[in-house]
Structure formats: C-alpha cells, structure tokens
Structure 1
Amino acid sequence: MLKRHKFLERKRELFFQGVSRSTMKNDIRNFHSLSQLVLSAGHLKPNPAVKHSKTTHFEIEILDAQTRRHICIVDKVTQTSTIHDVKQKLHKACPKWYPSQVGLQIECGGPFLKDYITIQSVAASSIVTLYFTDLGRQVSWTTVFLAEYTGPLLIYLLFYLRISCIYDVKESSRRLRHPVVHLACFCHSIHYIRILLETLFVHKVSAGHTPLKNLIMGCAFYWGFTSWIAYYINHPWYTPPSCGNRQVTVSAINFLICEAGNHFINVILAHPNHTGNNACFPRPNCNPFTWMFFLVSCPNYTYEIGSWISFTILTQTLPVGIFTLLMSIQMCLWAQKKHKIYLKKFNLDMHMKSAIIPFIL
C-alpha cells in the first residue's frame, strides 16, 4: 500500500510538471507571435491633425469719387472674387445702379478697374476702399457697331430711291442717272454689308459696355455724313467724274481690291497664329491680300483708307473727300497707338514695319 501511494504521488507530480511546461510553452509561443505582429506593423504614428483651411474675406468700402461720401460696405468678399462680383453685390445693396453703369477706381482720377480683376490683386489689407463713379446708361459694343453701320446702309438706299420728300419728282423723272450713280450705290452697300457681317460672324466684339452718349455720337457722325454724301451723289443734277469711264473703272476695281483685302486681314486678326502658349503677331500666308503684313502692322486700316480714297475718286464729290480725310486721320491715330503696343509685345516681328502707310507712317 505504501509503495502504491508513493507511486501515485510521483505520477501526480509528473502530471503537474507536464501541464506547467506545456502552459509555459504556449505563453512563450503567444508572446513570440505578439512580438512579430508589433514588429511587422512598424512604428506607431499618431493620427494626423485635421487642418482647417482659412479663407480670407475682404471688406470693401465704396465711396463716391467726387464727394468722398460713404455709399455702402460690401462684406464677405473672398480672394477669388472679381470686380464684377463686387458690382453685383453693390447692385443688390443699391438696386438703382446696374453693374454695367458702375465704374470702380482704386484712387480718384485713376483708371477704372476691369471686371475680370480679382480683389486679391488690388487689396493691401483686409479692408479695401474703392471709389464709385456713375457711368450713366450703358449699351453693349455689338449694339453700337450694328447701329452705326446699319444706319448708313439704309439711309443711302433711301436717297438712291429718290423719294419725293428729298428730291423734286419732276427733276428726278426728267434726268436719267449716270451709270456711276448705280455703281456708287453698289460699292457703298457692299462696304457696309461686309462690316455688318464681320461684326456678327468674324470680329470678337468685346463683351463690355460703353456709355449711351458714345452710341449717339457715333450714329450722328456716320448717319450725318452718309446723308450728306448720298444727297449729292444721287441728286438729279449730279455730274459724273471728269475723266470719264477710265477714272470710274480704275477706282471701282481698286475699291473692290481694298474691300477684299480688308476682309481677309480681319479674318486673320480674328484667328491669330499661336506658337506654344505665347501668341505671335499675325503672319501673311499664301493669300496675296495678307502680304501687306510685311510692310505695316495695321493693314486693315490701310485697306479701309484705300477703299474710301477709291470711293472719293469714283464719285468725285466734296462730302466723300471730307469724310475720307476725317476717317484717315482717325485711323492713323488708332494705328500709331496699336503700333506702339505691338512694338512692346512683338519687338522682333515689328522690325522695319510702318504703322499704316508703308515706309511713311
């Protein structure tokens, strides 16, 4: 019995030792697995803090440009807001001023800010002061051009028909018209029809506006001169050019050449060539009418003056000559102004070119 008791105790001790050893092995194996897991996960990184973007808002104080009187304050204007956006907010605060008739300046007497300029580019601090000028009633540039050029086309046709309220009916029926009268009406109509079609389909007319007074002044100039010109050319007592058919034929051909050249130049100016991201000065192509670019920087004005000089020789009337002179002076001023801009922007391309008259001006 004693031996059996010792045998059972010895067996119990061996059993517990085996259990403890297996438990220890399991603990070591679990610890090893945990260590491998931590090492494979890499370094523990804290969660990145969420960054909140701060949008800067500006406060626009608008003052009257003449009296420096406070008009209103436009607040909550972002960096990307434009002058046009400010005008829209001003219109909401003061409905009597539409955006098209509002002029905003950084300082009194300075240039008006363009609608596409951002507030961030003109702001020195979070508070911006702009000066307001009422530009008056505005009209779009497309309306201006269509009104200025549609009028002469219709007015000339009214004089060409010799309506009774303008000419004496008996005189008109008694005297036959010279062929140059019909040719002059054709050339005059072709000129203004071309301009109207180019205004609608070729020219990239600015989306901006201009004061109504400019429309009235432009219409008064074009319509008034057209009435004067058409009255003399279509008058029953009108006398044809002194050199006869040769003068008429040469001037008519030259007129049509200038009209064609003006059209092709306007097409190129509306679709200029580009090299990479930088626009280059329009270059002549295989069309002979575009070769004028070799000599002058504003060939459209050159052809326009050529058309009116040809029309003056064709009709040989004083009103056409005066109109041609005034138009030539104005276009020379425009051409010189553009030529200076081209010299700064396209210095190499503008070498040895004149502004409007080859080798002269």
Structure 2
Amino acid sequence: MVTVTVSSAGRTSLAKGLPITVDIPGKGVETATVADVKAEILKKFPKFSTSRQKLALKTDKRALADEKTLKEVGVVDGDEVTLKDLGPQIGWRTVFLIEYAGPLLIHPIFYYFPKLIYGGPVQHSRVSQYVYAMVMLHFLKRELESIFVHRFSNGTMPFTNVFKNSGHYWLFSGVFLAYSAYSPAYSSSSPYVRGTLRDDPNFLLGCVAVWLFAELSNFSTHLTLRGLRPAGTRKRGIPKGYGFSLVSCPNYFFELLGWAVIAVMTGSYAAYAFLAIAGYIQTVWAIKKHRNYKKEFGKDYPRRKVIFPFIF
C-alpha cells in the first residue's frame, strides 16, 4: 500500500477539509498511478470529478499526467501533492463540435436569406456559390473528423474556454466571411465580379482543384496522427509519411492553404483577415508541438521545418 498526503493549492470548495491522506491499497509507487490518487480523492469528495482535479508536486505547478506512476513523477510513499480545482470541464470533442457548428449554421442564413441580412435579394455569382460549397464541406469534414478520427491527449478543458475557442470560428469564418462573400458586392451583376477573374470558370475551377488538394491532404495527415495514438492513451510517436517529411505540422499547413485559396479566389477582406488570424494561431500551436516533439524524442526526431515547407 502507498500513502499520499493531498493538500490544497488554492480555494477548493468541492474538497473542504484538506489536507487529507489517501491510501492506495495493493500497490506501491512503482505501480500506483496519478489517476489512482485522483480516484481515491473522488471517493472522499464525490462531487469533485477527476477531470476537475489538477495534481502537482509541492515544488512544481505543472500538472501530473494521469497515466504516469507515482515513481515516474517523483512521488515517494508518504509524500505530499497539491490539489487544484480546474473548475467545470467540457470534453474536447464536444468543444470541437460546437466550434465547427457555428459556420455550418451561419453561412446558410446569409446565403439563403439575403433580404434578412442585406435588405434585398442577391443573385449569387459563381464565386459565391463556390465559396458556400467549400466552406460548408470544410466544416462538415471537420465535424466528422472530430467524431470519427481525432484522438485527444486531454479529455477535457475548462468550460469557459469554449466561448473563446468558438468565437474565432463563429465570428471570423462565420459571420464576417459570410457577410462579405454573399453580399451584393459579390452578386452576379456586380462590377467587382463581372469581367474579372472571379467570373472566370477556369480560374475558379483551378482554385477549387487546389482547395480540394489541401482538404484531402489535411485529412490524410489527420489519419496519420490518429494512427500514432492507441485509443484511450496519451502515447505519441514520431509522425512520418505524407507531409511530415517536410514539416512537423502539415495538417496546419494544408488547412491554411485551403483558406488561402478562398482568400485569393474572393479577394475578400474578411477571408484575408481570417487567414491572418488562423495563420498566427496555428503557427503558435505548431511551434509548441515542434518543440515538444524535439524534447520528447531528442536525437531521434528528424530535421524538418515547423509548419511552412522550406521556409519555417
């Protein structure tokens, strides 16, 4: 049996009475895991779900991974760990579904009800029709991937974060892009469209071809990442194969390529704004993942760029 003292790292209304001592019968520090400690805490405080619990060493604020043994994280028998309440949680899969649902709901409203938005009818041009199809197919793909493809290293996140995460998609790729792309400025009779590349079938079909390449490539990289993580684990391997020979995060690169196509095809300020915002966010994510890969795998991790082939 191993014994661990659990003290509070702050106000924890769901676990009044800390510090406490929990016992894990039948296991030692070599076999007892952080998840076992959380399970014992849950027994004492039934309303304090394990997803809300953040355990850390007394000398370190970093969260201890659930699947690690106590020995692996540096906890010995009789040692002390701190407990913090992360607040109400929501599943990552649910967050993704909510994020991508926004544009799927918003774009049809702007596309099919122009009188409600612009005060009059709009005869959609070919470029608007293509944008509508591309946006809807992209986010439908993302919803299906969230359900059937993605495996998440973290099961939950703070509930309040869903509003911040969703705002990026609902506002910029939802309201702003839809308002621009289906407006009278992009109607079939608009001088901004007629007689320009935006009215050229060859140009538009070329854009669709590049966009389709980006979407299928993005899907391929997601399948590769899924294959690296066995179901129910946080284990990671070195990603290899299509796209990964050039950059650490080709999934981000191909997604940005798809949005760049829409921006070039439309020339819309909203499309370029979303591309810039998404590019910044995903570059930050890619840098973090690239560093984590190098830290985790060391010399075994191959030399490659972060997100943009041959550039960065």
Calculate the TM-score normalised by the size of structure 2: 0.83
1:293 to 2:247 alignment: no
Q: Which has the higher contact order (CA 8 A, sep 6+)?
A: 2
Determine the structure 1 residue equivalent to 2:197: 243
Deviations 1:278-310, CA, capped at 9 Å, x for gaps:
9864443xxxxx2x3332232211111110100
1:319 to 2:266 alignment: no
Cα distance in structure 1, aligned partners of 2:66 and 2:183: 50
Counting only pairs closer than 5 Å after superposition, residues 228-267 of structure 1 correspond to structure 2 as 228-238=176-186, 239=190, 240=192, 242-244=196-198, 245=200, 246-267=202-223
1:64 to 2:8 alignment: yes
Counting only pairs closer than 5 Å after superposition, residues 20-169 of structure 1 correspond to structure 2 as 56-58=1-3, 60-66=4-10, 71-77=18-24, 78-79=27-28, 80-107=31-58, 110-122=61-73, 125-162=76-113, 164-168=115-119
Distance 1:71 1:163, change over 3 A: farther
- 1:166 alignment partner, SS class: helix
Q: Which moved more, 1:302-311 or 1:192-201?
A: 192-201
- 2:264 alignment partner, SS class: helix
Following superposition, which runs of at least 4 residues in structure 1 exceed 4 angstroms of deviation? 67-70, 122-125, 239-242
Cα distance in structure 2, aligned partners of 1:349 and 1:131: 34
- 1:319 alignment partner, SS class: helix
Determine the structure 1 residue equivalent to 2:289: 338
Distance 1:97 1:319, change over 3 A: same
Supply the AA of the counterpart residue of 1:243. Answer: L
Which structure 1 segments of 5+ residues have no match?
1-55, 285-289
- 1:294 alignment partner, SS class: coil
State the superposition RMSD in angstroms: 2.7
Supply the AA of the counterpart residue of 1:181. Answer: S
Q: CA deviation at 1:109?
A: 5.4
Q: CA deviation at 1:262?
A: 0.9
Cα distance in structure 2, aligned partners of 1:335 and 1:183: 30
Which structure 2 segments of 5+ residues have no match?
230-234
1:350 to 2:302 alignment: yes
Cα distance in structure 1, aligned partners of 2:248 and 2:158: 30
Q: CA deviation at 1:92?
A: 2.7
Supply the AA of the counterpart residue of 1:57. Answer: V
Cα distance in structure 1, aligned partners of 2:166 and 2:291: 29
1:182 to 2:129 alignment: yes
Q: CA deviation at 1:70?
A: 5.8
Cα distance in structure 1, aligned partners of 2:240 and 2:71: 37
1:261–1:303 Cα contact (<8 Å) kept:
yes
Q: Which has the larger radius of gyration?
A: 1
Determine the structure 2 residue equivalent to 1:310: 261
Q: Which moved more, 1:234-243 or 1:98-107?
A: 234-243
Calculate the TM-score normalised by the size of structure 1: 0.73
Count of equivalent residues: 291
Deviations 1:302-341, CA, capped at 9 Å, x for gaps:
1111101001112211111011011111222222222233
Cα distance in structure 2, aligned partners of 1:255 and 1:106: 48
Distance 1:121 1:142, change over 3 A: same
Percent identity of equivalent pairs: 28
Cα distance in structure 2, aligned partners of 1:279 and 1:65: 30
